[in-house]
Structure 1
Amino acid sequence: MTEIAKPKPQTKRYLGLDLSLSPGLAVIDVKERVPTLVYAGSVATDTEINDATRSVVVESFIAHQVYAHLPFDVILREDFTAGRNKRATQTIFNAWAAADRALHSFGYVVNEVKPVLAPTTVKKLVAGNGKAEKKDVAEGVRKYLRLPSDYKFAAGYDDSDACAVILAYLIRESLIDTEADAA
């Protein structure tokens, strides 16, 4: 009797963006329903320089990380509807445009997932509370990625937030195992 070879488990690579003019970016691989952190980082832009220059820094940071970690299966970003004021809205959309330029340079676009990944949804899925503080989201990220409790995220937690965007999607779509799955 001939034995049929089982297919090898495939690894999927996810890119997550937490966009502002000081963005966070994360890369997470998933193999056999287990997420593994590949990269998490952020770049802080100087508020004393003009928005055009800050945008170039954001685009360069994202382009560099895309180049360093490609290829990607899914690219995600947290949804944004309105800022605290006109200025906040301008800076977020500036960062979105910079990210889109960087991604397009490599033939990528952000996957428009439905329902969108609203900030409260990301916090609820990763930290258990839609109004969670950044440190609580970071704690949830450490848990899902099996990182040590003393794993340091950047000041401002933009890198942790980028991880949380990916993890929220993976949890919502039942693409990774969670404690609830074990019960």
Structure 2
Amino acid sequence: MSRKKTELLTLYLGLDLSLNPGFAVIGVTNRKPHLVAVAHAKTDASESQTLRYEIIESVALLFIREQLRAGPFSGVIREIWPPSRDYRLNDKIHGAWSAVDRALARYGYEVTANITPTTVKKTVTGNGKAEKAEVAAAVRRLLGLAEDYRFATDDESDAAAVVLAWLIGQNLIDVEER
């Protein structure tokens, strides 16, 4: 009698970073992805940018801490921000990146891969210009979640899409043809 080899759970952290960032941990076992956890940070435009970065760092720090209880991350994947002509927008995004980078560094992690928004959308939906609802639907399908499963924010489903797109691109999960 032969036994099928069972792979161990492998965890990946996805980051959709802005002043209202999303975080997702996707677990992979036997090339099958599943949702472990999602979270987001909600900051307020009336708050100073410095305070907003502190809030983002705090949420990231606590989320990472909680998720590491399930095991170490095999990768940390971030959606990259295409530079804007408005330096203030770039400054805000890079401030959020730095806040999350500080939280990651406290646990000995750093971003291991970057992926563009267009690549994320094209990989998970087949359309590089997909809308938020299409991305969330594709994430639910790829993770085997119920159609009526709702993420608290688009940032959460986007963070999950970042991980899924990277996993597909690296041929680390099996996906059904669209």
Matched residue, 1:118: 116
In the alignment, is the contact (CA less than 8 A) between 2:22 and 2:156 conserved in 1?
yes
Within a 5 Å distance, the mapping from 1:22-41 to structure 2 comes to: 22-41=20-39
1-side partners of 2:93 and 2:85: how far apart? 11
Q: Which residue of 2 aligns with 1:101?
A: 102
Q: For residue 73 of structure 1, give the secondary structure of its aligned residue in structure 2.
A: strand
Partner of 1:164: 161
**2:58 match: secondary structure:** helix
In 1: Cα distance, 2:167 partner to 2:18 partner = 23
How far has the Cα of 1:105 moved from its partner?
0.7
Residue identity in the other structure for 2:20: S
**Counterpart selection for 1:58 from 48, 56, 59:** 56
Give 1:103's aligned amino acid: L
Following TM superposition, by how much is the alpha carbon of 1:81 offset from its aligned partner in structure 2, in angstroms?
2.9
Which deviates the most, 28-37 or 3-12? 3-12
User: How far off is 1:117 after superposition?
Assistant: 1.0
Distance 1:5 1:34, change over 3 A: closer
Alpha-carbon distance in structure 2 between the residues aligned to 1:99 and 1:143:
28
Shift of 1:79: 1.5
TM-score if structure 2 supplies the norm length? 0.93
Instruction: Work out the number of aligned pairs and report it.
Output: 175
CA deviations 1:42-76 (Å, max 9, x no partner) are 11100100000000000000000110011211111
Percent of residue pairs identical: 46
Would the aligned equivalents of 2:41 and 2:56 in 1 still touch at CA under 8 Å?
Answer: yes
Q: Deviations over 1:98-126 (max 9, x none)?
A: 000000011111103xxx41100000001
Q: How does 1:1-183 map to 2 (within 5 A)?
A: 8-70=6-68, 71-83=72-84, 85-112=86-113, 116-155=114-153, 157-180=154-177
Q: Distance in 2 between matches of 1:159 and 1:5?
A: 37
Distance in 1 (alpha carbons) for counterparts of 2:41 and 2:4: 43
Match of 2:35, SS?
strand
Look at both structures and tell me which one has the larger radius of gyration over its CA atoms.
1
Whether contact under 8 Å (2:11, 2:26) holds in the other structure is yes
Aligned-residue offset at 1:160 = 0.3
Unaligned runs of 5+ in 1: none
Q: Superposition RMSD on alpha carbons, in Å?
A: 1.8
Per the normalisation by structure 1, the TM-score is 0.90
Q: CA deviation at 1:84?
A: 5.7
**For 1:131, what is the secondary structure of its paired residue?**
coil
**CA–CA separation in structure 1 for the residues paired with 2:167 and 2:129:** 20
